[in-house]
Amino acid sequence: MLSYQHIYHAGNLADVHKHALLAWMLTYLTRKDKPISYIETHAGRGLYDLSSDAARKTGEAAQGIEAVSGWFAADHPLAQVLADLHRAHDATSYPGSPLIAGKLLRATDRMHLAEMHPTEHAALRQAMRGYPAKCYQQDGFALAHALTPPTPRRGLMLIDPSYEIKDDYAQIPKHIARITRAWNVGTICVWYPLLTSQLHAPMLDALIAKYPDALRHEVRFPPARPGHGMIGSGLFVINPPYGVSHAATQLGTLFGTLGHPPQTRC
Ligand code: SAM
């Protein structure tokens, strides 16, 4: 049984990076009238309480969204999702990626969410009630292969593993190659940590070699604790929606105020 639980990390700077760009990508994709598919291979529980003991224990949200919420103007799609959520729940609630998608998608869009952990999966089902979402308690990559190409054919897949299984770094480029063979028009977005150990580097090299036109956006930030190995967050986006590289550049500038220059390539 995997032990990772995202509540310890919810709302940290990596979440802020991933969720701010996800919100922009969904905003751009839903500007056209046509419906889209949204698929998540590693969904988490969808809704987090940042005042919980688990969230407070690491203090990552305090260094993350609680410190930088002022970065986002009221019309930023992540700010709109947060405001909407805080009206419905209390001000210490924080949306996971499925709930961000749920709030930005339309009734005609389709969502497919995989979450393996039984407790997280049960919480996800609860959080997604009222949204056009199907929640699956199964391996996210198996679901991704079973669903691609999805109907509707336009859309986005978020791949956001915890990398608790170190083999994920080797397997992800193979999974993505199979997914893009089946679904060459889909936006495929992979999150990865920037690690002092450089464990992520061979995976990234493989993705860059295979998808030279993809958008790669990385931000750096101070480690959550002294000696912590994660020093930044990366998103690799195949078929990025039009406009997202501009949003990425703006986000990079904001992260740059933390003292490390951002890196964008597309
Ligand atoms: N995407 C979420 C968000 O941004 O709000 C966070 C997801 S968290 C980083 C990774 C999740 O993947 C965990 O909840 C974990 O239980 C789940 N998980 C781990 N292995 C999985 C697998 N093979 N298939 C589906 N879910 C998995």
Tell me how far CA of residue 121 lies from CA of 40, 61, 74, 97, 185, in angstroms. Answer: 13, 22, 31, 14, 29
**Which residues does ligand 1 sit against, CB inside 6 Å?**
2, 4, 6, 15, 18, 42-44, 96-97, 114-117, 120, 139-140, 160-162
224 alpha-carbon distance from chain centroid: 19
Pocket test for ligand 1, best of 6, 141, 147 (most atoms within 8 A of CB): 6
pTM above 0.95, yes or no: yes
Distance 209 CA to ligand 1 centre (A): 26
- The DSSP line for 107-141 is TTSEEEEE--SHHHHHHHHHHTTTSSEEEE-S-HH
Given this model, what pLDDT does residue 263 score? Answer: 65
Tell me which DSSP letter residue 237 carries.
E
Determine the residue type at 92: T
How do the pLDDT tens digits run along the chain, 266 residues long? 578 889 999 999 999 999 999 999 999 999 999 999 999 999 999 999 999 999 999 999 999 999 999 999 999 999 999 999 999 889 999 999 999 999 999 999 999 999 999 999 999 999 999 999 999 999 999 999 999 999 999 999 999 999 998 899 999 999 999 999 999 999 999 999 999 999 999 999 999 999 999 999 999 999 888 888 999 999 999 999 999 999 999 999 999 998 766 666 65
Looking at domain 6-265, what is its CATH homologous superfamily? Answer: Vaccinia Virus protein VP39 (3.40.50.150)
- With a CB cutoff of 8 Å and minimum separation 6, the contacts of 162 are 2, 4, 6, 42
The CB density around residue 51, as the number of other CB atoms within 10 Å, is 13
Q: Which two tokens stand for residue 229?
A: 């190995």
Burial label, 15 (beta-carbon count in 10 A; 0-12, 13-18, 19+): buried
Pocket test for ligand 1, best of 17, 162, 167, 171 (most atoms within 8 A of CB): 162
